[in-house]
């Protein structure tokens, strides 16, 4: 089968279109015929070697590794011990390991059943593929904060994929959201459920504290602003950095600082899919490209300015 692999770190040219053996599901696993695979910034960080330099993955442990975390498709094989998933089911899944021989940019992928859920019925495969990584990241960050209804929450990067989901999920929980984004995106993030807005060109803490005296109760730092975002949080509040690595601030003023690292979770994926079908989550696709144009997709991703995710179609 066809898959995109990387043998050495580099720019988009490091993505290679290869013919590889089709994977076989082992115990507790399913094989998914991939219909769509989302392109995420973490994919570029894997491809470039950025995550390896940060000590978050190892290069050189195998001659080639796969790339891509988000998929939507159809189960075409399942191990005998798997329940709740069967061949023919439309599903979404997340490959949360970075050092694997085949990942989401492929015609087929094998995943643990615990990383797979039924796809939203109302979404196309391209739309559904944008949900797992970014939706789970936002959900798990909010769970770390554990704010009660009525609490105030700052979301940085609120117009991005993670930030947009965080705004919608927070509003669904009854939180009062202060969204930070480009001035051009104010209408977008208010439409997602933000009650208050600050332009990313403003001094963040001053602008937030002008709206919420004393500072917000918590923050989801999807833009990795670190100390600049922490300064907008009240004394004794809570802060979640999103896969922040070195962009995790010191917990000043009694603020609880947590670094949210994504993990696959079938039950949470099913919950997110249900919210999509209930019209509570917005799936945003910037464009679709054939799998063979993975290099072009990464070039566009790194150019910036996208709203929604690029999606590869095998």
CB of 125 closer than 8 Å to CB of 118: no
Per-residue pLDDT, 53: 83
Closest C-alpha to 240, from 124, 126, 162: 162
Determine the length of the chain. Answer: 314
106 with 212, same domain: the answer is: no
Q: Where residue 148 sits, what CATH number does that domain have? A: 3.40.50.720
For the chain (length 314 residues), average pLDDT per consecutive 10?
96 97 97 98 93 78 93 98 98 95 97 98 98 98 98 97 97 98 97 98 98 98 96 98 82 96 97 98 98 98 93 98
67 with 161, same domain: the answer is: no
Task: Give dist(CA 19, CA 16) in Å, integer.
Answer: 10
Provide the domain limits for residue 114: 2-131+283-313
Residue 228, Cβ density class (10 Å: 0-12 exposed, 13-18 middle, ≥19 buried): middle
Strands 176-181 and 196-199: parallel
Per-residue pLDDT, 245: 65
30 with 71, same domain: the answer is: yes
Per-residue pLDDT, 62: 87
14 with 114, same domain: the answer is: yes
Six-digit token string for 145: 């904060």
Closest C-alpha to 164, from 191, 125, 183, 140: 191
- Count structural domains, the chain: 2
Residue 273 lies in a domain: no
H-run or E-run covering 187: helix 186-192
């Amino acid at each position: 089968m066809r898959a995109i692999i990387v043998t050495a770190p580099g720019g988009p040219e490091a993505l290679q279109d290869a013919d590889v053996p089709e994977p076989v599901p082992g115990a507790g696993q399913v094989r998914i015929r991939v219909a769509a695979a989302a392109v995420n910034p973490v994919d570029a960080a894997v491809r470039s070697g950025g995550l390896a330099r940060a000590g978050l993955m190892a290069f050189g442990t195998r001659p080639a590794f796969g790339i891509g975390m988000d998929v939507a498709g159809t189960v075409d094989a399942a191990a005998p011990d798997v329940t709740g998933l069967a061949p023919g089911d439309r599903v979404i899944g997340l490959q949360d390991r970075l050092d694997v021989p085949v990942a989401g940019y492929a015609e087929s992928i094998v995943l643990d059943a615990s990383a797979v859920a039924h796809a939203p019925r109302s979404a196309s495969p391209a739309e559904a593929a944008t949900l797992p990584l970014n939706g789970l990241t936002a959900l798990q960050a909010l769970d770390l904060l554990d704010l009660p209804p009525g609490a105030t929450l700052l979301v940085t990067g609120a117009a991005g994929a993670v930030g947009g989901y965080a705004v919608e999920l927070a509003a669904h929980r009854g939180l009062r959201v202060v969204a930070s984004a480009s001035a051009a995106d104010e209408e977008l993030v208010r439409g997602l459920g933000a009650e208050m807005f600050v332009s990313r060109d403003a001094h963040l803490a001053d602008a937030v504290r002008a709206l919420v005296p004393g500072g917000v109760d918590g923050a989801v730092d999807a833009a990795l602003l670190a100390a600049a975002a922490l300064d907008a949080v009240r004394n004794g509040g809570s802060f979640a950095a999103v896969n922040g690595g070195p962009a995790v601030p010191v917990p000043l003023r009694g603020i609880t600082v947590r670094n949210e690292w994504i993990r696959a979770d079938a039950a949470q994926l099913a919950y997110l899919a249900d919210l999509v079908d209930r019209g509570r989550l917005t799936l945003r696709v910037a464009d679709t490209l054939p799998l063979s144009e993975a290099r072009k997709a990464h070039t566009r991703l790194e150019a910036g300015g996208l709203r929604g995710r690029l999606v590869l179609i095998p």
